[in-house]
Amino acid sequence: MKKSFCTVVAFLLTVGVYAQKIKIDKGEIKLDEKTIGYIEGKKPVFKIYNLDKSSSVIAELKSAPNSDSMTLPWIEIKNEATGKTNELEFKNKSRKFSAFNYDRSIIYELMDRGYMTADGLNAESIENFLNGESAGIAAKHLGIQGDIDNANRLADAYQLTIDDTGVIYSVKAKNQDPNDKKIGYIKMTSPASNGELMYEIMDLDNYKIATWYAKGAMVSGYNKFLNQELITYDNKVFKAAFDNRGNPIGYKMSKDITPMNIVRVLVGNGYTLGNQYSENRK
């Protein structure tokens, strides 16, 4: 019974915070028109004070170099006096997050986690957080970005091109004819069975290596929707961005940026096409 009561109280407190409205007016942080603290600075670094400005915390937005525009930054929280830091990720993307109001989004995030309340900064909770175990968010994001950078370097080395019939070429083609630079094929289906855009990538033996889906695709053996993602024949999933800027007038596969994005991701992750899958499929 006690556990159930605590759960209900926690739920009600959460609902209460969600219902409250944060506004920042000339540096004042207002919760339902009540000033609860102050904030100064601009993206990416903000300094947040309690009401009497006796304590403060630095909140800095961090992101991995070359990360795509859809990837949210994370927040590094820092005690300016001690230099101690820890990290937070934006967890409520659909509720209060706004790319146009990062300062307000940070305040909502602090409130959701109890580091800021209707009484202002919760210095004790923040200090416990800073003294606690590192969240490791930077290491995770930078590691992912490192994998992406390595994949891009590998794809660059293959000097990929795609012609208007969907033939994929590379200077690293390992064909008997040294003048034959084909390594595979790509074809587009629009609309696909789910009503969206789809690309299929085949090797030189016409074995399907991967299928890319634009939106809302369900595939047997994978329990999430595929959105601008490809799934390989061995059930690995990679992100590859849709980009329609290559064909402002008419359509040519050779000018379509999306299939090139898809093939680059495949090659960069070790799927170099050619005839390398024949033995695996016998």
8, 130: one domain: yes
- Residue 142 belongs to some domain of the structure: no
In a domain, 150, yes or no: no
Confidence check: pLDDT of 277 > 50: yes
- For residues 78 and 129, membership in a common domain is answered with yes
Task: Tell whether the model's pLDDT for residue 64 goes beyond 80.
Answer: no
Query: What pLDDT sits at residue 155?
Result: 84
Domain boundary among 135, 168, 201: 135
Cα torsion angle, 240, 242, 248, 251, sign: positive
- Same domain for 111 and 189, yes or no, is no
Tell whether 118 and 219 lie within a shared domain: no
Out of 120, 135, 150, pick the residue that ends a domain: 135
- Which of 146, 45, 55, 58 is closest to 102 using CA atoms? 45
Q: Which domain holds residue 31?
A: 2-135
Distance, CA of 53 to CA of 50 (rounded, Å): 5
Q: Would residue 241 count as lying in a domain?
A: yes
Q: Is the pLDDT of residue 6 over 70?
A: no
Q: How high is the pLDDT of residue 144? A: 62
Higher per-residue pLDDT: 180 or 19:
180
User: Which residues make beta-bridge pairs with 88?
Assistant: 75
- My answer on whether 199 and 98 are in the same domain is no
Q: What is the pLDDT of residue 15?
A: 41
- The DSSP letter of residue 220 is T
The yes-or-no verdict on residue 17 having pLDDT over 60 is no
- pLDDT score recorded for residue 108: 92
Q: Are residues 106 and 208 in the same domain?
A: no
pLDDT at 131: 87
Whether 148 is in a domain gets the answer: no
The alpha carbon of 98 is separated from its chain's Cα centroid by a whole number of angstroms, namely: 15
Supply the mean pLDDT for the chain: 84
Of 21, 90, 84, nearest in space to 58 by CA = 84
The model's confidence at residue 280, banded by pLDDT at 50, 70 and 90, is low
Interval 177-219: pLDDT, tens: 888 999 999 999 988 888 899 999 999 999 999 999 999 898 8
- Please, how many CA atoms are within 13 Å of residue 222, restricted to the half-sphere of its CB? 18
Residue 171 lies in a domain: yes
* Rounded Cα gap, residues 16 and 20, in angstroms: 6
3-state helix, strand, coil in the chain (%, to 5): 30, 30, 45
Structure tokens at 48: 């947040």
153 domain residue, yes or no? no
Range of lowest pLDDT (58-72, 107-121, 124-138, 139-153): 139-153
Same domain, 108 and 187: no
Q: In this structure, what DSSP letter does residue 122 have?
A: -
Residue 94 pLDDT greater than 90, yes or no: no
| pLDDT category of residue 101 using cuts at 50, 70 and 90 | confident
Look at residues 147, 184, 191 and name the one whose alpha carbon lies nearest to residue 273: 184
Q: What is the pLDDT of residues 149-183, one digit of tens each?
A: 777 888 888 899 999 999 999 998 888 888 899 99
Does residue 218 lie within any of the structural domains? Answer: yes
Comparing CA positions, the residue from 25, 39, 6, 267 lying closest to residue 158 is 267
Q: How far apart are CA 59 and CA 47, in angstroms?
A: 6
Q: Are residues 97 and 203 in the same domain?
A: no
Q: What span, in angstroms and rounded, lies between the C-alpha atoms of 132 and 145?
A: 26
C-beta neighbour count of 246 within 10 angstroms: 15
Q: Which residues, 6 or more positions from 144, have their beta carbon under 8 angstroms from its beta carbon?
A: 64
In a domain, 13, yes or no: yes
* pLDDT exceeds cutoff 90 at 246: no
Q: Which one, of 35, 26, 89, lies nearest residue 59 by Cα?
A: 89
Residues 63, 127, single domain; the answer is yes
Do 230 and 129 lie in a common domain?
A: no
- Considering the entire predicted model, what is its pTM? 0.54
Residues 67 and 177 in one domain: no
Distance CA 161, CA 181 (A): 10
Q: How many domains does the chain have?
A: 2
In this structure, the answer to whether residues 122 and 169 fall within a common structural domain is no
To which residue do tokens 């230099």 refer? 83
Q: What gap in Å lies between CA 86 and CA 27, rounded to an integer?
A: 24
